[in-house]
Amino acid sequence: MHNDAPNPGFGTFRLEGDTLTKSIHAALEAGYRHIDTAQFYDNEAGVGKAIASSSVPREEIFLTTKVWFDKLEPAALKASVDESLEKLGTDYVDLLLIHWPSPDDAVPMADYLTALKEVKQAGKARHIGVSNFTIAQLDEAVDILGAGEIFTNQIEVHPFLQNRRLVQHCEKLGIKVTAFMPLAVGKVLDEPALQRIADAHGASPAQVTLAWIHQLGYLTIPSSTKARNIQSNIDAFKLTLSESEMAQIAELDRHERIANPDFAPQWDDQPLGG
């Protein structure tokens, strides 16, 4: 059993069918032991089959899934987790997240977080956490669940959206940061500053970005369908960047948010009314 999430994890958003199976097998062969999926990705059954058909036993894998925001009413949440477990072919997940806070608080947070904790108490999730929660929402969540209960807040972090205020708040609360979209859907590959640092290390801009995230102490879940990139993403954690290189990457923050649906909360890095 993992008390900590293996890092990096392997993200499966937008992967399906044969591509999903091959990618998960390549990730497990490369040494990944953390697989991240979600109800919304509509690929839990494929993820479950890929894990079952791999050479790595289920108990050696840290498996994360997430409850979508239309399933936050307590009874619906619990039923949706049972459905996720059935699709994944397992009787527990290692980490169960609320994917997005309830839009406009349509379902009170106390209702859905209490239900989430009850799922954990029933043995269906080893750890629970949240995703896309703001500073104010994290404070409310800790008030509801108590300190030490929220394993992580999975948020968008990459060189162009460094989300520092929220990150610092997570750290203050003892909540791990999991960086999703770490490569800014490939935009890091075109950034000259990252390319210069990469050249100095005989690495790629993607590897430099992942090394930066690793050195900041965050978990991350890069996604790739190419075996070569799946391998180079995990190898990135062997890189060590200098303080000066870390400082150069810190300068790239431009609050460029990619995952910003119309039901998103009022982000902490947005000016009010922005």
Express each pLDDT in 188-204 by its tens digit: 999 999 999 999 999 99
- Say how far apart CA 137 and CA 170 lie, in whole Å: 11
As a whole number of angstroms, the longest Cα–Cα distance in the chain is 54
Report pLDDT digits (tens) over 150-169.
999 999 999 999 999 999 99
In the predicted model, what is the mean pLDDT of residues 120-145? 98
Residue pair 37/89 in contact (Cβ under 8 Å)? The answer is no
Structural domains in the chain, CATH included, are 10-183+217-224 (3.20.20.100)
Listed range (103-107, 191-195, 243-247, 270-274) with the worst mean pLDDT? 270-274
Task: Give me the pLDDT at residue 87, please.
Answer: 98
Active site residues: 41
Distances (CA, A) of 159 to 4, 44, 124, 207, 243: 25, 30, 35, 12, 15
1 vs 193, more confident: 193
Does residue 209 surpass a pLDDT of 80? Answer: yes
Does residue 272 surpass a pLDDT of 60? Answer: no
Task: Give me the pLDDT at residue 155, please.
Answer: 98
- What is the residue type of 197? I
Task: Name residue 125's beta-bridge partners.
Answer: 93
Task: Give me the pLDDT at residue 274, please.
Answer: 39
In the predicted model, what is the mean pLDDT of residues 96-117? 98
Task: Give me the pLDDT at residue 269, please.
Answer: 78
Select from 130, 160, 269, 157 the least CA-distant residue to 218: 157
Determine the Cα angle at 265 with ends 12 and 136, to 5°. 110
Percent of the chain with pLDDT over 70: 97
Residue 110 binned pLDDT confidence (cut-offs 50, 70, 90): very high
Does residue 254 surpass a pLDDT of 90? Answer: yes
Residue 273 binned pLDDT confidence (cut-offs 50, 70, 90): very low
| Strand (E) or helix (H) holding 98 | strand 93-98
Task: Give me the pLDDT at residue 270, please.
Answer: 66
